Chains A and B, each alone.
Chain A
Amino acid sequence: MALLNITSPHTHGANRTGRLMRLVVYATFPGIVALTHFFGIGVLINVLLASLSCIAFEALVLKLRNRPIQFYLRDCSALVTGVLIGVSLPPYCPWWLVISAAFIAIVLAKQLYGGMGFNPFNPAMVAYVLLLISFPVQMTAWATPLPSLADGQTLPSLVAALDKIFFGTAIDGYSSATVLDVMKQNAGLTLDDLYKQEAVFTDGRWAGAGWEWVNIAFLLGGIYLLYKKVFTWHAPVCMLLALALMAGVFYDSGSSNSGGSPIFHLLSGATMLGAFFIVTDPVSSAVSVRGRMVYGALIGVLVYVIRTWGTSYPDGVGFAVLLLNFAAPFIDYYTTPRTYGHKKPRRATDSSKQDGGH
């Protein structure tokens, strides 16, 4: 018999990258359901279109790079990127926006850097931010959530949605300002008055109509992933804590200068999606436990800063994540763990001979 010289360990756990990625996709389902419920079929079309185009671009580039297409597609990372783009883009946005996003994410942000595992930035966020800057009108036109629809108005039908997406046929009154827009543009009203006055708040419970439930749904997905040990709690929990802390510190007891309550920030915009599906992207984040805590916390701080004091963009998750992607190697440098048998952590560039040697 032929004996293989296989080195230890000879056994392997059940973990596979493909499995992890599929779990992430499953975990987005509650969020997608909530989004579809509040914003209509446009969300599903987005997700579908983005996923398909991401997989197509991935396959295309793999073919160009002479890589085994099936082997790499099986890791499902392109699918995850597609789904995340699908839920990030505004429903009923033009089709070319979605396909551009897929192209930017897969071709520019991922494969040009060497593909899976080598991208320094989160591909979905690169796409989102690039498009947000390039096409601010289309990217900020969010659909009106179900509770805030005018009497007698319904969510757009499939035909209307496809018409809007592919032919630009306008849908009457389909879009309105999001809660973050409202909060940002608030000047002179105390939070109490704002909550009473604005439809998005009166139709909602804690943080605005629809959005609060979308965030809770993504939180559920995140808890599922934590339970499945797809990632550790460090980065997302630290991000949420930092965001809540910032909101708490600058709450200013609900005056007109307030940036919003912690609960408002936790349950509005892309907070939960960001915390559990973007910040936890391992490839572009810091590597050590302490590093990920710092990474998450800084993203939380930046999200608040951009939301509250930024000049033009209502939400800051995309920018915050990309900025911290830049900083990840820097964080890694200062957060190397203390290895067994060492008195203190060694800096990542400390190549001096250690006591004892080998």
Chain B
Amino acid sequence: MTSLIKVWELPGGIHPPEHKSQSLQLPLGSLPLPPVLVIPLNQHMGTPAQPVVQVGERVLAGQLIGAADGTFSANTHASTSGTVIAIEERAIPHPSGMNSESVVIESDGKDEWVELTPCENYLSLDRLALLDKIRAAGVAGLGGAGFPTAIKLAPKSTQVIDTLILNGAECEPYITADDMLMQVRADELVAGTLLLSHILHHPKNLLIGIEDNKPKAIAAVRAAVAGAAVNNPEAAKIQVAVFPTKYPSGGAKQLTQILTGREIPSGHHSADVGVICVNVGTAVAAWRAVRYGEPLVSRITTVVGDALGTQRNIEVLFGTPISYVLEQHGFAANRASRVVMGGPMMGFTLLDLHSPIIKTTNCILAPSKQELPEPQPAQACIRCGICAEVCPANLLPQQLFWYAQAEDFERLESHNLFDCIECGACSYVCPSTIPLVQYYRAAKGTIRLHEIEKEKSDRSRQRFEFRQQRIAKEEAEKEAKRLARQKAAEEAKKKLAEKAANASAAPAAPTDVLSAAVASANAVQAAPDEQKAKLERLVTTAKTALEFQQKPLVPNKTNPVISDEQLVKQQVRIKQAELKLAEAEKKLADFLAQTSAAQTNTAPANTAPSVAAAVDMNDPVAAAIARAQAKLTMSPEEKAKANLESLRTRLAKAEEKVAAAKTEGSANLDALQQGADKLQQKISEALAELAALGINDEPAPQTTPAATPETAPATAEQSAAQAAIEKAKAKAAAMASMSDEEKRAEQIQSLQTRLSKARERLAKAEAENDANVDAFRAGVSKLEEKLQELA
């Protein structure tokens, strides 16, 4: 049974003349099929649907003609059977008088329907399937906003819904569409309420909110609830909440406040306070979508106003031109002051009467000139504050007006302009007949525009700054490289000069030459690396371009048909792309060939008298770096083993060479023998190191001396490593217990120590003319940077 719930007082509000009786004199009517229907693809809030039919195609009633584009969109269906004669921009009912892509259907008069899939027991389907059905049927809020219903019925997991409100308030004067619907479809409304309740996991409160000026609807819904409660105990939970008539109690925020006492926080949805509010017509549409599989193709609309011969409610197909509806109701254009879609408080003037009935058309109001005369010229605001008294959102409309006139957008925001629901109560009561709502709309539009522009300019400023930074960084890097090259070249020159000076008595000289050569080779190589990367990028770009051109041409909105000319053009473009790719690949190949040639050229030049060195030089630089890096990550044992391994390989090679030289009687035999001996010695050293580390390698070919000088450092190294680990651990523990401030101080200190050490090293390196002096310098500057960052 229905029980009374606490009804809260709506702050503000007005009592304009209701004008509801004239459209309720006649029963719910219908219209003969219009010859042509214009079905816009954006009848809802969100992205317009995408057309899925072609011009000339025959469609049936209920057939999908526009598919939802993304989640925040809604399907659009043909309202009757016929032929698609155009898919083009047509006028739609919109405050701006804008056009929108519409499917124009010439009715064949048969009104043949597609096959529908009914569902006897929706409890047998899971909730997602039910939501799918509602989504597929294109159900959107019929109260006026056109919010896609399937989205509304799927609140976030964090939003616990305890109240479902069916909005039958219909507070706008003149409109009686929901009143009529509740009178004639009360059973379906109750069924729909139970369906939505099921989808929302049975919220605690099921409320059907109706203003007390609709006694017939209230009686009908109460009877339907009582009837349903016989078979379904949940229906007994439904409460028909009747509350005093007051405009704008039908706003979702206001109705939520009236029935629950909760306010929806600014910028949030009602689901955030546990409430879902659905228009009664929408609930019926959702029910029909699930029960009968019926897509939303028609609605009840109030056709009212003194400029009409007949005033009543009609069940009307979407796409029916409003001019056709007016014509059917004896519209006298010379008497009408204007034609409004929606009610007199929030409706908008239709600029083109050929625009069609859509999902949100709850009323067509054609008032006479006496009924709704032209507004009077505005007088000065006397700040009487009556507007503030009637504002349901508790704003200060007179202040908003003041700041809107002054275009003081900051003050407008601080006076919560964006909480204005544009109900028009303030304008209605304004003794100076100031079109307040229009000022707020304009101000909101301007603020939104400013925000978009600001975002744009912010983005381009960031882009610009980033670009400047990048350029500066590149310049700095180039400069650093140039300096490095210069330095290396100078050093090499100096060394060469020294070598030339001591040419006769300097056996150590070759190594110097070698290092200089390596340095210069490295310096030269930096540039080719870049070049190579560039060429590779070129190839990739060319490949992408080719792939893009190779994509088959698809008919789309702008190009519905693909002409031969377009195909030829595409062929040409593919050819061009192929040529570009080939060119790019050739360039890369040439470049690779050049560089490898250059490397092979440098290799013989580097063959030094030292065989061991020669062996090394045969390896590419990159490999050596990789090895060095691998070494860095190895443990001491692994390092030692690897070292041993490589030494053994080298020894084997060297011995082979020695053997070969012997058989050939080469002049280099002595040198080779010497190298092999050296290697032998190194191996023994390595073995000693290993032994020191406590690892027994396979029986060594030679017994190692008990204590080579290296063993001590090795152990020292190990213990040092141990100590370092110990230290690091201690540091980590200390860090964990430190505050941020302390951490920072600690870091700064350690950086300072490191910096001073690095400076010492640098000084030393400079004094010794070390080849690594640049690296040291870089290290020092990095540390300095870090320190600056922290300090």
* Cα separation A10 to B394 with both chains bound (whole Å): 22
Interface of B (DSSP majority class): loop
Produce 1/0 per residue, B418-430, CB < 8 A to A. Answer: 1100101001111
B376, B382, B432 — most chain A CB neighbours (10 Å) = B382
Interface hits, A1-26 → B, CB 8 Å: 1, 3-13, 15-17, 19-20
Using a Cβ–Cβ cut-off of 8 Å, how many residues does chain B contribute to the interface with A?
78
Contact B416 A339 (CB under 8 A): yes
Give Cα A128–Cα B551 distance, bound, in whole angstroms: 87
**A265 proximal to B (CB < 8 A):** no
Given contacts A9-B344, A75-B379, A349-B414, contact A340 B257 (CB under 8 A): yes
* Chain A interface helix/strand/loop/mixed: loop
| In the complex, per-residue mask of B434-467: 1 if CB is within 8 Å of any chain A CB, else 0 | 0101100100000010000000000000000000
User: In the docked arrangement, what's the CA distance between A117 and B378, Å?
Assistant: 13
Residue B263, interface by CB 8 Å: yes
Bitwise interface map of B from 732 to 772 toward A, beta carbon under 8 Å scored 1, else 0: 00000000000000000000000000000000000000000
- Indicate whether A71 reaches chain B with its CB closer than 8 angstroms: yes
- The interface centre, meaning the residue of A288, A340, A358 with most chain B CB atoms within 10 A of its CB, is A340
Closest to A347 in B: B414
Contact of A287 among B339, B377, B396, B427 (CB under 8 A): B396
Q: Does B265 contact A (CB under 8 A)?
A: yes
Q: Which of A306-345 contact B (CB under 8 A)?
A: 332, 336-343
Task: Give B416's nearest chain A residue, CB to CB.
Answer: A339
On chain A, the residues within 8 Å of B489 by CB distance are none
Would A117 and B380 count as touching, CB distance under 8 A? yes
Instruction: Scan A104-117; emit 1 where CB is below 8 A from any B CB, else 0.
Output: 00000000000111
User: Would you give the shortest CB distance from B532 to chain A, in whole angstroms?
Assistant: 50
Q: Give the distance in Å from the alpha carbon of A14 to the alpha carbon of B16 in the complex.
A: 10
Smallest CB separation, B414 vs chain A (Å) = 5
Inside 8 A of A6's CB, which chain B residues have their CB? 338, 349, 374-375
B351:A5 contact, CB within 8 angstroms: yes
- Would A342 and B382 count as touching, CB distance under 8 A? no
Within 8 A of A (CB), among B300-355: 333-334, 336-340, 342, 344-351, 353
- Asked whether A340 lies within 8 Å of B419 as measured between CB atoms, the reply is yes
A-B CB pair tally, cutoff 8 Å? 195
Residues of chain B in range 383-423 having any CB-CB distance to chain A below 8 Å: 383-386, 388-389, 392-396, 398-399, 410-411, 413-416, 418-419, 422
Q: Given the complex of chains A and B, what is the CA–CA distance between A28 and B172 in angstroms?
A: 38
Q: Is the CB of B396 within 8 A of A288?
A: yes
Contact B394 A5 (CB under 8 A): no
Question: For B414, what are the chain A residues with a Cβ–Cβ distance below 8 Å?
Answer: 346-351
The answer to whether A117 touches B433, judged by C-beta atoms less than 8 angstroms apart, is: no
Q: Which of B347, B385, B428 contacts A232 (CB 8 A)?
A: B385
CB distance from A13 to the nearest CB of B (A): 5
Judge whether B367 and A10 touch: CB under 8 Å: yes
Q: Tell me, rounded to whole Å, the shortest Cβ–Cβ distance linking A289 to chain B.
A: 7
Report if A151 contacts B (CB, 8 A).
no
Residue of A whose beta carbon sits closest to that of B265: A341
Q: Is the CB of B411 within 8 A of A348?
A: yes
Contact A5 B415 (CB under 8 A): no
0/1 string, A272-291, CB within 8 A of B gives 1: 00000000001101011100
Chain A residue nearest to B392 in the complex (CB): A340
B647 within 8 A of A: no
Closest to A353 in B: B413
A-B contact pairs, 12 of them (CB 8 A): A3-B338, A4-B374, A7-B441, A8-B342, A10-B344, A11-B16, A339-B266, A340-B263, A340-B394, A348-B414, A351-B410, A356-B266
Which 5 residue pairs are nearest across A and B when measured between Cβ atoms? A356-B267, A9-B424, A117-B380, A341-B266, A351-B410
